[in-house]
Structure 1
Amino acid sequence: MASSTIFFFSFYLSLSLHVSADNSNDICPATSCQHGGPEIRFPFRLRDVQPDRCGYPGFDLSCNNRSQAILQLPNLQDFVVSLINYDQQYIVLKYPSNCLAKRLQNQTFSSSLFVAQEYGSFTFTDCPDKFLPNFGMSPVDCLSDEHHKVLLCDANDPGALYLPILGCRTWNVSVPVSRQLLMDITERVSLKWDRPDCRSCEKRGGWCGLSGSTGSQVGCFSKHGLSKSEAKYTILRAVLAPLLLCMFGITCYLSSHARLSGHPDRPRQPPNGNDGENNVADILSPSSPVTRTRRTSNGAVGLDSLAIESYPKVQVGDDGRVPRPNDNICAICLSEYQPKEMLRTIPKCGHYFHAQCIDQWLGRNASCPMCRNKKGNV
């Protein structure tokens, strides 16, 4: 039974450790560079603040000295992160000097991770300051000065056709745009990412995160740390564990009861004492025998009085000498034999006891108290 208990709890402990190991990469808490700034969480991570496993490769952000979240795109300067939309997976960027138009003139914003939702074609024009009319075009103040005025319009705007005639220098650029998020492209642009794809997880109210201690496999987690599948498994464990423990206890009880039932003649051990007659009287109650063997109220099989009286008796001598000099204590009442006391012997094994002790014993148990498991019944 002890070995079964050890095995059961070892198995349950190993199962618990296995589940705990699966949960070792719970979602990292969200953070930000400043209060009210964009929330930074997977696939983004704050470099030097959050562990590498908190973000997806290539999505590292940092905080500048103005507590702004900064993203560095390949082959481009740093950009300030104005907004991160995790549901639709797009990010809004602006230039630290608030002159994004300066970066737009020769950049396409293409990278391996962030791409434009779509591109729009725009025309920049640089005209002498004497041409004050802007033909409905938008002035770009951060690129203009007292000698030049820089304007911006859609490349298909008819007014752009007359600008070269007026001595203006023009050039076209391709700029990331988003029809769902209209904005001034001289201030902000929007880029999206497709991998890792966490949109379905976000719609279910979860957060994405890396699964396991290595690799780049992405899983969906509940906001308090466990993935949906792991949360279900944890609940299932919480229900099954008490049930298994209960079943295990019932099995142990039934097994123990069956073993006890298989030995109906197991004797009760008498309590220690010096008065053998009183000790036996406390344990055994007399009953009237009917046949050679009889079944007592507790189910044990005993001998009737005629069978008991057929066993030989011997009296202890005046000097206290007993049949076996080294055997001078009754195994039933644990008292030493005294002169003139009457002993009774069990013929089959030769063991002897106080007559009154063994008589009451055999009335309840048809076996020798000392060797019942060695030589069988009397």
Structure 2
Amino acid sequence: MAALDLFFSLLLLLIFFFIIPTRASCPPSSCPLGPIVSFPFRLQRFQLRRCGYPGFDLSCDNETLQTTLSLSNSSGNKFVVQTIDYDLQTLIVNDPDHCLPKRFLDRSFDNPPNTTPFRIQSFKMYKFLNCSPQATSLPDTASNILCLSDENHTVFAVPSGEYDNWLKSKAPSPSPSPSSSGPLCEVISSVLVPATAAHELGVFGDAIEGVALTWSTPNCSLCEAIGRDCGLNRDASQIVCSDPKAKTKGLPRSAKYGIIIGVGIPGVLCILGLASYVCGRINAYGRRNRSNMDLSTLASQQPAIVVVGLDGPTIESYPKTLLGESRRVAQAQ
């Protein structure tokens, strides 16, 4: 049976080798509450590593069931992926707690080059102010950040240039303090805010729908433009465009040949081995039965007693010769 186990193991290995590398093993996937995920992205634990491009790993949050992305400078805190536009190569991310200004303050989007494949087209400098409830004099463009405020203080975000101009106009002397807007407010930090989010920040306050991230590598725009799927070739060395209809027509020819070879040869060997094993068992069973029958036959047969020679009366009828002590024929007296 050890030979049969070896054949079956080899069979499974060959099938795995020829089937797994095909594009049919990388179908689109998604989290329960997330967008469709396909190349260059991949869902960890649900899609093979070769189904995605390095740096494009996404995850499913076990609690919220949303799709999440981790940036290199986000202090381990992930972003929720809201949408992915594969034609424009853009995705929209948001903070899980719906407080993107907090992520601006911790500089989650200030990623140096070569640490992440994602880029933000442009930024705008903002100053964040921490003001007491008594503060009434603020720039017209100041936006109230409710998710960072409480009953004891209020946080505002103001474009840096407009804040500086406002501060100069309110300063009683030619040398105003650059770090305060009066005794009731102080500058928390000056940070870069993505331009798209900055527009929403000025209009809606902290109710920002998300931040747009773009990527240029891998460039799948050509594949998308001609209606083909983008992905890695067999050895993951370059980007190729594949026909999505080909996936429904069955396996590639190379995979079919591989399966024929992988299944045919081990299958024939398995059949021969199984037939040899069955024949051996049958022969052994037949020899054992014949031995048992021979033993039972010998045990049942009784040995025949054959008596040969003359009977007693016939022997007594013959004349007798008397021998002496010297074993000689005695002479008559």
State TM-score, norm by structure 1. 0.49
Residue pairs, 1:183-332, within 5 angstroms: 183-184=200-201, 186=206, 187=208, 188-212=210-234, 214-225=235-246
CA contact (8 A) 2:83 2:93 kept: yes
| Cα pair distance change 1:63/1:160, threshold 3 Å | farther
Tell me what 1:67 maps to: 65
The root-mean-square deviation of aligned C-alpha atoms, in Å, is: 3.1
Tell me what 1:131 maps to: 135
CA contact (8 A) 2:31 2:67 kept: yes
Tell me what 1:173 maps to: 191
Distance 1:33 1:47 in 2: 11
CA contact (8 A) 1:90 1:190 kept: yes
Q: What is the SS of the residue equivalent to 2:240? A: strand
Alignment deviations for residues 323-343 of structure 1 (CA, whole Å, 9 cap, x no partner): xxxxxxxxxxxxxxxxxxxxx
Shift of 1:99: 1.1
Shift of 1:217: 1.1
More helix by share: 2
Tell me what 1:372 maps to: none
Distance 1:124 1:177 in 2: 16
Distance 1:182 1:131 in 2: 24
Shift of 1:27: 7.2
Shift of 1:73: 0.9
| Cα pair distance change 1:119/1:27, threshold 3 Å | farther
Shift of 1:133: 5.0
| Cα pair distance change 1:216/1:122, threshold 3 Å | farther
Counterpart AA for 1:159: W
- Is residue 95 of structure 2 the alignment partner of residue 95 of structure 1? yes
Q: What is the SS of the residue equivalent to 1:159? A: helix
Distance 2:139 2:237 in 1: 53
CA contact (8 A) 1:81 1:91 kept: yes
- Is residue 25 of structure 2 the alignment partner of residue 30 of structure 1? no
Q: Percent identity?
A: 34
Residue pairs, 1:157-172, within 5 angstroms: 157=162, 158-159=165-166, 162=170, 164-167=180-183, 168-170=185-187, 171-172=189-190
Tell me what 1:294 maps to: none
CA contact (8 A) 2:79 2:93 kept: yes
Highest RCO, 1 vs 2 (Cα 8 Å, sep ≥ 6): 2
CA contact (8 A) 1:125 1:152 kept: yes
CA contact (8 A) 1:109 1:116 kept: no
Gaps of 5+ in 2: 1-17, 171-178, 254-333
Gaps of 5+ in 1: 1-19, 227-232, 235-378
Alignment deviations for residues 265-301 of structure 1 (CA, whole Å, 9 cap, x no partner): xxxxxxxxxxxxxxxxxxxxxxxxxxxxxxxxxxxxx
| Cα pair distance change 1:89/1:25, threshold 3 Å | same
CA contact (8 A) 1:183 1:189 kept: no
Aligned length: 208
Match of 1:44 among 33, 41, 45: 41
CA contact (8 A) 2:167 2:181 kept: no
Shift of 1:183: 3.9
| Cα pair distance change 1:148/1:198, threshold 3 Å | same
Distance 2:51 2:136 in 1: 53
Counterpart AA for 2:27: P
Q: What is the SS of the residue equivalent to 1:202? A: helix
Tell me what 1:109 maps to: 110
Distance 1:182 1:150 in 2: 18
Shift of 1:130: 0.6
Tell me what 1:80 maps to: 80
